[in-house]
Structure 1
Amino acid sequence: MTVTRRRSRPGDPFPRALDRAITESGLGLDRIRHRLAQQGVRISVATLSYWRTGRSRPSGATP
C-alpha cells in the first residue's frame, strides 16, 4: 500500500467514514495497526491518525 501526504479535500467522506469505522470497532489505532501488520500491511499509527483526521489519505482512495 502506498501512502501519500496529500490532504483530503473539504467535504471528503473518507476521513468521516474511517473515523466512524474505527469508533464502531472499539479498537485503538495501535491495535488496528497490529491487525493490519498481521495481514502484511505495514502502516504507522500516525498515518492512521492522519487518514482519520483528513490530514492525508491513502493513494487510491477516491474523493
Structure 2
Amino acid sequence: MKLADLLGDVVGQLSEEQRRGMEALIAEYGAGETLRFLLALLAGTSKRERQLIRIFLRELDRIEQGRGD
C-alpha cells in the first residue's frame, strides 16, 4: 500500500474541523506527503495520546541535545 492511499484513509476518518485545521497548517507552512500523513495521524489522536506524544518529543529533543545535534 502506498503512503498516499494511507493518507487518504486517515484523512477520511477525520472530522471536518480536524481536516480544516490540518489543511490550514499545511497551507501556511507547507508539507510533503510524509508530514501530511503524520499531521493527519496527530489530528485524529485523543488528548491522552497527544500528551504522550509531547512527552516523547521532549525526550527526543533531550537526546538530540546530548548528541550535539
Fold match by TM threshold 0.5:
no
Greater relative contact order structure (CA < 8 Å, 6+ sep): 1
Larger CA Rg, structure 1 vs 2: 2
TM bracket, shorter-chain basis: 0.3 to 0.5
User: TM-score under structure 2 normalisation?
Assistant: 0.32
